[in-house]
Amino acid sequence: MYAALWRVLPGPIWLRIVFVLVLVAAVLFAVSTWVFPWIDQIITPQEATVGQ
């Protein structure tokens, strides 16, 4: 999968590295902004008491 992505990206190696870094940053931003809060609403944390 990564090799196919690397072949699809245009330009010289330095530009491909920039594209990959931008793509990784965009995915991390999307996951932390929309996916994790959505999952947090679905999964309820378990109530745990310690020492009672």
- Residue labelled with tokens 């699809």: 8
Q: What is the pLDDT of residue 26?
A: 96
Q: For the residues of 1-52, what is the DSSP string, one character each?
A: -HHHHHHHS-S-HHHHHHHHHHHHHHHHHHIIIIIHHHHHHHSPPPP--S--
Domain coordinates in residue numbering, the chain: 2-32
Q: What is the pLDDT of residues 10-36, one digit of tens each?
A: 999 999 999 999 999 999 999 999 999
Q: What is the pLDDT of residues 37-51, one digit of tens each?
A: 888 888 877 777 776
Q: What is the pLDDT of residue 51?
A: 67
- The pTM is what? 0.70
